[in-house]
Amino acid sequence: MSTKKPINRIQVITTGDCPTGSETVVLGTWDGTVQGCLCGTTLYAGPCTSSSSSCSTVSAYSPTSFTKYAGVQYCVTRVASWTNPNASGACASGKLCAADICVPTTETCPITDIRILLTANTASADYTEVTLNTTAKLVYSNTYPSQAVTFLKVSLYDNPCMDPAAMPFTTSKKPYVLSAVQENGCGGTGTVENLEYIERKAASDLFSENNMNAIVTGLPGFSTYITGEFAYFVGARQYLVETTAGCPVISSATLTNTKNYEESFVNNIYGILIAGIVLMSVIFFLIIIEMVFHARKNEEEAHWVRFFSALTLLALLGACVLFIIIGGVAAHTKVKLSSDVAILNYLASHQCFKQEVVNRTLQVLRGNVSNFYAILWLSISLMIIACAGIVTTIIIGLVNIGYAKRTGGFSSYYRSVGKKLKRKGKTQGPRGMGQQSGTGAANIEMLISNKTVV
């Protein structure tokens, strides 16, 4: 979306043109379809290649704009000019608005909050009411503390994408086969960050009130396709920032896009990284337990040694994979932001924005971006530690196997001790262990001989 001045008034009309001084709002666009072919109940994109009488050409439809929502056309006026407050939060001229920008004293402050309510509901006194129809009204505030609304948008299937050429996913079904723009989850750019969610309605209702029923009925299966789908009505905000003289200009779209990447990285990776560090701590704890069991050399505990060795090895393998993923995502994010990082660093270090809060936001943003390489190297270091742990565990296992072959290990050690005790008992007479291990006949003979002697 190109930069626009903030909206400070909304009017609605049912017919005719918007009042002088206001502009007509194009709420959104349905992207149309490509030519297709219907053979029986099978629909595919492209011209028909079969001469079968069951096949018929489905004509392409051009993109069509939505101009109505809730039965009315929206007209908006915008502030004539605005500036950012100074470092102390005051306006050099004009008045300070709830949107944290300064406008001329004679101007109405920008709209910061929009809602659609049932007619019977009452909004706060600082909200302006605009009747939409017999059952609903739109209310908006110029005093609610938030960023200024600069666009009114309606998008199909989900909130609007950062990339205007992209289409969000549908809720539960595959894309319509003839759609000119396939639903692709916003193409990886995400939805518009600063939104004021207003309302949603059935997509079929939006087509109907914008006189697009011929499209719905003319496209095979399209009416079924949009059943259960929604049209989202939102107020979109932009970062309203000005740079000081001599500083490079950065668009609000670039700032928003960069901030989206940074926030996505922080939200998704920091948690995984913390989980990885916790996993490494658990691994070291398991290794200590394993070493304790080794030191005890208790035959009855030998199976615990094998259990904790296997558990440690699996955890180490998982840690290696986890840190490889973290490092890869960190490197990918750094590459994605590389074109903007130099500009952001300059803007932040030179306090280029007149709005101090933006300078502080950029300082944090720059700090997080500069941490990407640190996180990458931390991930590599932890991965090396995990891999070293794997090697160590394997070496310990091989050494134990070799030791067992030479000395008999835990089980053979105790068996050998038992054999020695048995041999010793046999040489000690009836009071030794040999008495317990001898045969019944031998014991009787010994008792008879003892009795005879006595």
What per-residue confidence (pLDDT) applies to 206?
A: 93
- For residues 103 and 97, the answer to whether their CB atoms sit within 8 Å is yes
- 3 state SS of 237: strand
Give the pLDDT band (50/70/90) at residue 253. Answer: low
Beta-carbon contacts of 195 under 8 Å, excluding residues fewer than 6 positions away, are: 159, 160, 234, 235, 236, 237
C-alpha span between 267 and 261 (Å, rounded): 10
What per-residue confidence (pLDDT) applies to 8?
A: 94
Sequential DSSP letters for 338-361: HHHHHHHHHHHHTT-BSSHHHHHH
Q: What percent of the chain has pLDDT over 70?
A: 59
- For residues 287 and 310, the answer to whether their CB atoms sit within 8 Å is no
Supply the pTM of this predicted model: 0.57
Residue 437 has pLDDT above 60, yes or no: no
C-alpha span between 272 and 329 (Å, rounded): 11
What per-residue confidence (pLDDT) applies to 398?
A: 67
Instruction: Give, for 445, the enclosing helix (H) or strand (E).
Output: helix 440-453
Q: How many CB atoms are located within 10 Å of the residue 344 CB?
A: 22
Residue 224 has pLDDT above 70, yes or no: yes
Q: What is the mean pLDDT of residues 214-243?
A: 84
Q: How many CB atoms are located within 10 Å of the residue 132 CB?
A: 19
The better pLDDT of the pair 325, 254 is held by 325
The pLDDT tens digits of the residues spanning 37-74 come to 999 889 999 999 877 788 999 999 999 999 999 989 99
- For residues 79 and 107, the answer to whether their CB atoms sit within 8 Å is yes
The pLDDT tens digits of the residues spanning 105-139 come to 999 999 999 999 999 998 888 999 999 988 999 99
The pLDDT tens digits of the residues spanning 369-400 come to 566 666 666 667 767 777 777 777 677 666 66
Domain ranges of the chain: 7-38+56-237, 252-410
- For residues 241 and 84, the answer to whether their CB atoms sit within 8 Å is yes
Residue 178 has pLDDT above 70, yes or no: yes
Q: Average pLDDT, whole number, for the chain?
A: 75
Q: What is the mean pLDDT of residues 401-414?
A: 54
The pLDDT tens digits of the residues spanning 264-291 come to 666 666 667 777 777 777 777 777 776 6
Q: What is the mean pLDDT of residues 89-108?
A: 89
C-alpha span between 4 and 7 (Å, rounded): 9
Residue 193 has pLDDT above 70, yes or no: no
Distances (CA, A) of 12 to 129, 137, 156, 208: 11, 11, 22, 19
Q: How far is CA 207 from the centre of its chain?
A: 32
